[in-house]
Amino acid sequence: MNEKIKLNIAILTISDSRTKETDKSGNLLCELVEEAEHTAIEHAIVKDNIYSIRSIVSSWIDTEKINVVITTGGTGVTGTDGTPEAVEVLLDKRIDGFGEIFRSLSYKKIKTSTIQSRAIAGVANSTYIFCLPGSPGACKDAWLDIIQYQLDSEHKPCNLVELMPRLKD
């Protein structure tokens, strides 16, 4: 039996007001990543600016030691929410099912307010990217109900880890 593959995951909080101390969602994601026996290799906070977000995510997907990037914040519909616009242009492939399933799960809790979420996922330069809303509840739901399983190399019938080209060396 193969040993569980541990991934290096970078967490990016998009916020104009959060600090490391007040970053509930980013800190929660770091804890969940570590509980799943992966490594939260980076944790940063950036203002909700398309080019600043894109710069950090671009840097991370160009770093071979980072397998996954998870962002939190900036996926709503207000004038400052720009995470999908920042990240979509970097994606080689979209994982449309992620946003669909996330909104379906969210509907059970927040009903039609879930239409305001533009959560997305995809792969860029062999790095998986998940863009989540900024609320701790949404981050927890996305991790516990979707992401943790897809980043578990032992999850059957299939998972994203077995598709990571960087891990096939």
Indicate whether 169 belongs to any domain.
no
- CATH code of 49's domain: 3.40.980.10
Indicate whether 1 belongs to any domain.
no
- How confident is residue 165, by pLDDT bands cut at 50, 70 and 90? confident
Indicate whether 62 belongs to any domain.
yes
Residue 167 has pLDDT above 80, yes or no: no
Higher pLDDT, 167 or 5: 5
Name the domain count of the chain.
1
The values of phi and psi at residue 165, to 5°, are -60, -35
Mean pLDDT of 110-133: 95
Indicate whether 51 belongs to any domain.
yes
Question: Measured in Å, how far apart are the chain's first and last C-alpha atoms?
Answer: 19
**SS3 of residue 9 by DSSP:** strand
Question: Mind listing the pLDDT tens digit for each residue in 14-67?
Answer: 999 999 999 999 999 999 999 999 999 999 999 999 999 999 999 999 999 999
Mean pLDDT of 154-166: 91
Range of the domain at 32: 8-162
Mean pLDDT of 140-144: 98
Question: Mind listing the pLDDT tens digit for each residue in 80-98?
Answer: 899 999 999 999 999 999 9
Residue 169 has pLDDT above 90, yes or no: no
Write a three-state SS string for 93-162: EECHHHHHHHHHHHHHHHHHHHHHCCCEEEEECCEEEEEECCCHHHHHHHHHHHHHHHCCCCCCCCCCHH
Indicate whether 167 belongs to any domain.
no
Indicate whether 28 belongs to any domain.
yes
Indicate whether 78 belongs to any domain.
yes
Other beta carbons less than 10 A from residue 101's beta carbon: 16
Q: What is the pLDDT of residue 3?
A: 86
Indicate whether 99 belongs to any domain.
yes
